[in-house]
Amino acid sequence: MSEEMDVIKCPIPPVDTLDGFTGLFGYPIAHSLSPLLHTTIYTGLNLNWTYFPLSSTDIPGFLDLVRHSKCRGSGVTMPHKVAIIPYLDELTDDGQAVGACNTIVKRDGKLIGTNTDTIGVRESFLQNVADPERAYHGRPGLVIGGGGAARSAVYALVKLGCKIVYLVNRDPTEVAAVVAWCTAQGYGSGLRHVLTAAEAEGLEGPGAIVSCVPNFPPATSAEVEARKVIEVLLAKPHKGAILEMCYHPTVYTEIGDLAQRAGWQVILGTEAMLYQGFEQVKYWTGREVKEMPIAATKDAIAAALRDGVA
């Protein structure tokens, strides 16, 4: 079978009765909560818009759809967050900083890429931590994981004021890649890879933690050691807040449970998903987040997770 035949074509959704539409371009995306999130917001804003799941590997076809006169922009998810960048006219500072685009905005005939995942992480802390000065200001941050999600988390924590950010991950090569990327972009000077529990014992405790790893029990020796590092840092006298980015198939994870039992405030990953989505709608509609149906949208997402929709 040829490479061209392997491409999953971009669906052409019905848009004639709509005033506007947006979508999510990725593959596969069957379990995404983004359509529910966005259509709930549009309903609350009294917009005759909808949000289509665009499960496809067809970048040219997707871009044709985005250029439709009724398209207001689009979300982008895996595996396209990096691959889409060469096709865009511009990339915002946030998109460039993390090297990934999860949002396309249309401005003056141009397709502009940005990244609202960083906003989702930041706002999860700003909106949920009652006393930031006590919880995380002036303290190191911690990112658990590697790859693109880790870069977004590091960037967000640096923007929150963490001058030092610890990195914990089973794969040193992934950590090295994160450090190299962040350093090249100008925000990696305070990164520190914590390799062992013994090393963690001698460190100042973090105040803000972002966990970007799947909810699996540690199996390999490297995974076991990484978990020990996390446990040591969670056991430090200072207790702050941890954002557990994993929320599918359940919002309750092993790391979240460890943190809660150690006395940390646990912020569910749905908060990051919600606030990155609110920021996307702000780009696409020009409406402020405070105008959006925040409570109704949170309720809709929580209900979907309870019902096992995601």
Among residues 70, 81, 110, 290, the one annotated as catalytic is 81
Q: Which has the closest alpha carbon to 280: 28, 99, 112, 128?
A: 112
Q: Where are the beta strands (DSSP E) in 173-302?
A: 191-193, 208-211, 241-244, 265-268
Q: Say if residues 209 and 141 touch (Cβ distance below 8 Å).
A: yes
Residue 81 catalytic? yes
Specify the DSSP element, H or E, that contains 90: strand 90-91
**Which active-site residues does the annotation give?**
81
